[in-house]
Amino acid sequence: MSTKYFALLTQLGADKLANAAALGTKIEITHMAVGDGGGKLPTPDTKQAKLINEKRRAAINTLSIDPKNTNQIIAEQVIPENEGGWWIREIGLYDKDGVLIAVGNCAETYKPQLQEGSGRTQTIRMILIVSSANAVTLKVDPSVVLATREYVDDSIKKHANSRNHPDATLKEKGFVILSSAVDSNSEIHAATPKAVKTAYDLAKAADNNANGRVPAGRKVNGKALSADIALNAGDVGAYNTAQTDAKVNEVRSLANTANQNAANANNNANTRLEKNKNGADIPNKDEFVKNLGLVGTVDLAKNAVPNSRKINGKVLTGDVTINSEDVGAFSRGATTSVQGENGVPWDAASGSYIAQRNGDSQLVIHFNVDAGSTPALQLKTMYRNNGIAYRSARDRYGFEEPWTEFYTTKNRPTAVDVDAVSSLHGGTFHEHVRFDKNIIVGNNDNSVMKFSSNGSAVSPVHIQTWGNAIQGGNRYTVLEAGDNQGWLWYSQRIDNGEVSFAVNGKMLPNNYNNFDNRYLQHNQQNIPVGVPLPWPHSNPPDGYFECNGQKFDKYKYPKLAMAYPSGIIPDLRGEFIRGLDNGRGVDPNRKILTHQEGTIISGFDDNDTGDISFLGEPSCAFGDPMTNIQWENTKDKRWIYWNSQGMAERYNWWAYVSARPRNVAFLYIVRAA
């Protein structure tokens, strides 16, 4: 499997590093930048001089040499929780001149802003492998105050291993100075084994015999030090005061006797032991102690605890009570009870507190380190897993912010909490939303509305709604589609309620069946009511009347009544329409909608009676036979001519055929409303 995430030196970085190594100089890496790679995971390239889409560049927080591999330089940067709102897919290291030294990619991670409802502090680390770390200056801007946890842990470890610690006192733990003195009253020195051995050898200070420290699990005469200890003379196998006085008197008596015996045996004793040695020359001191009857006393002294000894700073001169605070531990039970969830102050002792409320209580776990920018931390829990929250103190200002709850399986965030739109309750997107795949609207696979794109369009398509009625226009609602070159089509509703559809170009249907009918319906607002229209079918479309002389309801069709006040549509069946003369003089004395007969141009007879009805149906006319109406209109018409005296006379020839041009039959219709 090939490596997906990696970092490498850029060509500029490699050149600078090689030049620094050759000349004995150093390059100074000062900044780290992160970017989103332009929306996808980038592949680092040695030819890069900058990140593909840089989102943040800031000074490095830590720059160090890996103690386990001196050829590895570790650079870290901490991004605070108030910065973000973008993805991190690429990382770059820059020197003080702004040159990109190294570039890498990383697993895609979203860095939220605190304002988005989910903030976090994020650490970015890049490990740079070089041939010699001596060519890189390890210098960090001291003004960069954020530190990584590893840096803090290393600093604490170094401090713990140093001698930079306070001296011990009677109340505080710390470093102490060892002393071999057995007659000192100092309270700032600790006894050495030599001092203890001397006291043991002399059997004069049995109470100085100690084993260095008393563990928490150590017992004193069978009594554990985990609780208060009350010892009496019987517990340590010793005599009480009265018994001791009796024994002392007995010893005193024996001593007097011994002194007498010693005087008697003085010469003999002097030859055996030098008194100036003070017992130092006794060959068998244990036997000597045994002979003195002090073996029991010495044995008891070996297991006794001196009354000057301390347990966690508390002297053993009286009863000692050790609690969890004395040993730096949490109490197994509640530390104390407080009123309300805010009843434990930031500087209270670490422990478990019961926060009393009306009707119930909460458990507050309090940690107090009394140091650093975060000196205290509290956790608050509710019964039956009904929630957990925390708050932290700042410096010595205490708790400045209210409790912050953790999201759990029982306390899930709402869509509002994480700035999202609920899939159950809906919501509003206030910014652009991009979908990599299709948008499907519907509750099943058979009844859906789908918005899709295969990504092959040259220009993106924009679908939007708008209107200008609020600004005083007449367009109430407009649904428009377009691309980068302009609009493609739109449908609109105007102030009078009419709806129209417009296309920016030709409309080319796949099926023309009834298209002309639909076309007239969609464009009828452009045709005045009452205008005769030639129609290529024998029946008029919906919303139109045939021009066949029929009557219509003037109240039901008021616009049509304005065109035809008589309430009768002209009968245009088999008729030609002629333009109104309207003062031109070509066809004078005509009124609108008046009928005019055809002109007689051929067919004649020499009868001068003026009556040609006897001819019957003409048989010599050109064209079709006359109809009865045509015959009635032409039988009394004669030709007129001018005679030689300039007088008009009538021929006795009678015309009986009217002219007819070539034509195509259409059905005349009018728009009804």
- What pLDDT score was predicted for residue 434? 78
**What distance in Å separates the CA atoms of residue 484 and residue 505, rounded to the nearest whole number?**
16
Q: Where are the chain's structural domains? A: 7-160, 177-315, 337-405, 439-503, 604-655
**What distance in Å separates the CA atoms of residue 167 and residue 509, rounded to the nearest whole number?**
97
User: Position of tokens 């105007």?
Assistant: 494
Q: Are strands 544-546 and 86-95 parallel, antiparallel or unpaired?
A: unpaired
Q: Which two tokens stand for residue 654?
A: 């009678």
**φ/ψ (deg, to 5) at 401:** -110, 150
596 residue type, one letter: Q
CA dihedral sign of residues 558, 563, 566, 572: negative
How many other CB atoms are there within 10 angstroms of residue 307's CB atom?
10
pLDDT bin (cut points 50, 70, 90) of residue 152 is low
Contact 548, 573 (CB under 8 A): yes
**What distance in Å separates the CA atoms of residue 60 and residue 96, rounded to the nearest whole number?**
11
> Does 386 score more than 70 pLDDT?
yes
Least confidently predicted of 174-188, 472-486, 506-520? 506-520
Least confidently predicted of 142-151, 435-444, 517-526? 142-151
How many other CB atoms are there within 10 angstroms of residue 378's CB atom?
24
User: Position of tokens 């055929």?
Assistant: 657
Most confident of 436-440, 611-615, 665-669: 665-669
User: Position of tokens 């009557």?
Assistant: 551
**φ/ψ (deg, to 5) at 563:** -80, -35
Rounded to an integer, the average pLDDT of 570-588 is 87
pLDDT bin (cut points 50, 70, 90) of residue 395 is very high
- What pLDDT score was predicted for residue 266? 63
Rounded to an integer, the average pLDDT of 118-142 is 67
pLDDT bin (cut points 50, 70, 90) of residue 388 is very high
Least confidently predicted of 25-29, 76-80, 222-226, 555-559? 222-226
> Does 478 score more than 70 pLDDT?
yes
289 compared with 361, residue with greater pLDDT: 361
3-state secondary structure 168-180: CCCCCCCECEEEC
Q: Which two tokens stand for residue 519?
A: 């076309």
Element housing 417 (H / E)? none
Contact 35, 53 (CB under 8 A): yes
Query: CB within 8 A of 548, min separation 6: which ones?
Result: 569, 571, 572, 573
User: Position of tokens 């060892």?
Assistant: 178
Q: How far is CA 92 from the centre of its chain?
A: 24
Helix, strand, coil fractions of the chain, as percent rounded to 5: 20, 25, 55
The share of the chain scoring above pLDDT 70, in percent, equals: 70
Q: What is the pLDDT of residues 198-244, one digit of tens each?
A: 766 765 444 444 444 566 667 777 777 666 777 676 666 666 677 76
71 compared with 535, residue with greater pLDDT: 535
> Does 150 score more than 70 pLDDT?
no
77 compared with 645, residue with greater pLDDT: 77
- What pLDDT score was predicted for residue 611? 45
**What distance in Å separates the CA atoms of residue 561 and residue 554, rounded to the nearest whole number?**
5
Rounded to an integer, the average pLDDT of 13-25 is 86
**What distance in Å separates the CA atoms of residue 351 and residue 360, rounded to the nearest whole number?**
20
- What pLDDT score was predicted for residue 513? 59
3-state secondary structure of 288: helix
Q: b/e map of 72-94 (b: 16 or more CB within 10 Å)?
A: ebbbbbbbeeebbebbbbbbbbb
**What distance in Å separates the CA atoms of residue 125 and residue 108, rounded to the nearest whole number?**
14
Q: What is the pLDDT of residues 639-654, one digit of tens each?
A: 555 566 666 555 555 4
Least confidently predicted of 29-33, 304-308, 423-427? 304-308
Contact 294, 248 (CB under 8 A): no
| pTM for this entry | 0.28
Q: Which two tokens stand for residue 468?
A: 């200008």
419 compared with 668, residue with greater pLDDT: 668
- What pLDDT score was predicted for residue 576? 87
